[in-house]
Structures are given as structure tokens and as C-alpha cells.
């Protein structure tokens, strides 16, 4: 009876902590049936997508070609130069001349979308995948992600070669991405580029690739705390069950622990119910920096291949 009372009291405390806190939601996102579509993106495609997403909310500036402000063609010129060293000079009518035309139903991340008559286009954007593209919109607005169902392009061009689209990553190895929520200081790790893009779209900071994992190994479980918005990852089924008992939501197996590279687990004794209580990293430098700030070393969380 006493154990049940303590459990109920703890859940009540978590609820009180959470009622005045509204994190950017993540567990409610619908990823769709085709969430694996981006797993085999090539290195150049990933470089373009990640570079472009960095400039969300940069203001539109007519003729702008730097992160201080972009117009549509200036954004494309800057992103491709920074990401893969490709020069695609503005304006849009010049950018139309690069690459080869590709059907709108055969789009791949890294393609360039155009609006208007061929040879006289008035707008362009970078295709991200899953129907999303990023563009510098119009005066008074900012760089943002939009879906083709709301603003359909007239045609598209592919500036990457066939070889540039080939992924060199082994089929049984998958990338885990890391994001940071500036509203509450929390991190999230995900194997879905669609989830990554969706969270960046609503204000999270994309921190690119965290590590690579194998398809086989020991399951790494993902749990969500609805009272604080925090996510936790563990290979321990006992820890998973304990957290589930006090109100955390089990969100399934995120990836597998396998390989020779350790992922370190650290605990934040200063967590206030909003910030992360735990952090995970393969970086010894990051681990040591957190330890110098008072975090506690909890050993190795799991292993990854690279």
C-alpha cells in the first residue's frame, strides 16, 4: 500500500512540474509510412539538406546572398557553395541552366525547384524530400520549409550527377541524428530524417549526425516524459519498465547497440524538470566538458559502429 502511495505521489509531483511547461512537441509528430525514404541519401545530398536547414528564419533580403539575408536564388547559391563547393550563381534564370531537367514525380533531395515559365522563372527552392522544400520566400518574410501541396513548382532540375546520388554507407548501417531544443535545453536523437526535418521546421536546432548504428545488436529503447518533454534512451529493460511505471511513455526500439565505439552516458544533477537529466555522446571532449560543469559519469550507455 505504501509503495503504491509513493508511486502516486511521485507521479503527482511530475504532473505539477509539467503543468507550467509546454515543450515543443515531438512524440505527437506523424512521420508517415515512408519515413525511411531518406536513409540512403548520399553524402552530398545530406550536406545540402543539412546546410539549407541551418538558415531557417533568416530574413528575406532582395539580392541577399549571405546568412544576414537571402533572396531565393541567393540562398541556393550560398547553400550549394558551402555544402559541396558547387557554384550556381543567381539569379533564378541563370540557375535554370545548371543540371538536367527532372520530372516532378521523380524528385530527390538536392534538386532545385522552379516557378514560372522556363527561361523566365521568378522563384526557386531546394528540395529536401518527402514533398518538403526550403526557400527564401518574399519581402517581409523569412527562409522557411514549405510542402509542394501548398505551393507546387512548375519544373525542377537536378544538379547532382548520378554518382553524387549513390550512398556509400553500407545497407545495414544507419545514421542517428541529433537535435537541440533551444526552448528548454533538451536534446533528441532520432534515426528518422523526416522527424529531424519536422523538428527543425518548428524551431529545434539540427546538430546533424551523431553516430552510425548497425541493424543488429542489443535494442536501445526510447522513452518520453510527458511532464517535462524529455526523451531518454537505454538498453536496460529494467530501467525501461521502472520509467514506464512512473508515467514515461515507451516509444519503441530506436536502434541497436553494436560496435566498438562507446556512447557515454552522463547525468545532470542540476536538472530542474525542464532541461535534460541525461546526455549521451561519443565525444570524450564533450564528456569531459560536462564533467567539469558538475555532470556525473554513468559509464557507457551503448556501442555504435562509427
Same domain, 139 and 206: no
109 with 192, same domain? no
Q: What does the pLDDT read at residue 164? A: 87
25 occurs within a structural domain: no
**Do the domain assignments include residue 11?**
no
* Spans in the chain with pLDDT lower than 70: 1-40, 273-274
Any domain includes 17 = no
What is the structure's pLDDT at 32? 33
- Which residue, 122, 139, 165, sits at the end of a domain? 165
Considering the domain architecture, whether residues 96 and 185 belong to the same structural domain is answered as no
pLDDT of res. 291: 95
DSSP 37: G
Is the same domain home to 48 and 87? yes
Co-location of 50 and 115 in the same domain: yes
Quote the CA–CA distance of 73 and 82 in Å, as a whole number: 14
> Which among 126, 151, 147 has a CA at the least distance from the CA of 136?
126
Whether 285 and 221 map to the same domain: the answer is yes
Task: Please indicate, yes or no, whether residues 174 and 295 belong to a single structural domain of this protein.
Answer: yes
Residue 51 in 3-state DSSP? helix
Query: Which domain-ending residue is among 134, 165, 196?
Result: 165
Residues 190 and 78 grouped into a single domain: no
In a domain, 180, yes or no: yes
| Distances, alpha carbon 135 to alpha carbons 48, 77, 164, in Å | 13, 12, 22
In a domain, 268, yes or no: yes
109 and 231 part of one domain: no
Q: What is the pLDDT at residue 28?
A: 32
Q: Are residues 156 and 271 in the same domain?
A: no
What is the 3-class SS of 190-214, one letter each residue? ECCHHHHHHHHHCCCEEEEEEEEEE
Domains of the chain: total: 2
Q: How would you class 28 by CB atoms within 10 Å of its CB: exposed for 0-12, middle for 13-18, buried for 19 or more?
A: exposed
141 and 246 part of one domain: no
Residue range(s) defining the domain that contains residue 298: 169-304
SS3 (DSSP) at 63: coil
Residue environment code for 79-91, b if the CB has 16+ CB neighbours within 10 A, otherwise e? bbebbbebebebb
The whole-number pLDDT of residue 273 equals 66
pLDDT value, residue 22 = 34
Q: Are residues 197 and 220 in the same domain?
A: yes
Identify which of 229, 224, 129, 213 has the alpha carbon closest to the alpha carbon of residue 177. 213
Q: Choose one of 129, 147, 165: the last residue of a domain.
A: 165
CATH code for the domain of 129: 3.90.1720.10
Residue 84 lies in a domain: yes
Provide the whole-model pTM: 0.69
Amino acid at each position: 500500500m505504501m509503495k503504491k502511495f509513493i508511486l502516486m505521489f511521485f507521479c503527482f509531483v511530475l504532473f505539477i512540474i509539467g503543468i507550467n511547461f509546454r515543450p515543443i512537441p515531438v512524440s505527437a509528430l506523424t512521420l508517415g509510412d515512408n519515413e525511411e525514404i531518406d536513409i540512403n541519401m548520399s553524402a552530398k545530398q545530406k550536406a545540402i539538406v543539412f546546410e539549407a536547414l541551418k538558415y531557417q528564419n533568416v530574413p528575406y533580403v532582395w539580392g541577399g546572398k549571405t546568412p544576414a539575408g537571402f533572396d531565393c536564388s541567393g540562398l541556393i547559391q550560398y547553400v550549394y557553395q558551402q555544402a559541396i563547393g558547387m557554384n550556381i550563381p543567381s539569379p533564378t534564370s541563370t540557375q535554370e541552366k545548371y543540371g538536367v531537367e527532372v520530372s516532378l514525380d521523380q524528385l530527390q533531395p538536392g534538386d532545385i525547384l522552379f516557378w514560372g515559365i522556363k527561361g523566365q522563372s521568378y522563384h526557386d527552392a531546394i528540395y529536401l524530400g518527402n514533398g518538403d522544400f526550403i526557400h527564401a520566400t518574399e519581402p517581409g518574410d523569412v527562409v522557411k520549409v514549405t510542402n509542394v501541396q501548398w505551393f507546387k513548382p512548375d519544373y525542377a532540375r537536378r544538379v547532382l550527377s548520378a554518382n553524387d546520388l549513390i550512398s556509400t554507407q553500407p545497407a545495414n548501417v544507419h545514421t542517428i541524428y541529433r537535435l537541440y531544443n533551444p526552448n528548454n535545453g533538451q536534446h533528441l536523437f532520432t534515426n528518422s530524417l523526416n522527424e529531424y526535418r519536422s523538428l527543425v521546421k518548428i524551431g529545434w536546432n539540427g546538430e546533424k549526425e551523431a553516430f552510425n548504428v548497425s541493424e543488429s545488436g542489443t535494442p536501445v529503447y526510447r522513452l518520453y516524459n510527458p511532464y517535462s518533454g524529455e526523451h531518454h534512451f537505454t538498453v536496460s529493460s529494467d530501467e525501461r519498465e521502472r520509467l514506464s511505471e512512473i508515467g514515461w511513455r515507451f516509444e519503441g526500439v530506436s536502434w541497436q547497440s553494436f560496435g566498438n565505439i562507446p556512447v557515454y552516458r552522463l547525468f545532470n544533477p542540476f536538472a530542474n524538470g525542464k532541461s535534460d537529466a541525461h546526455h549521451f555522446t561519443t565525444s570524450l571532449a564533450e564528456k569531459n566538458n560536462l564533467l567539469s560543469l558538475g555532470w556525473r559519469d554513468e559509464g557507457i550507455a551503448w556501442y555504435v559502429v562509427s
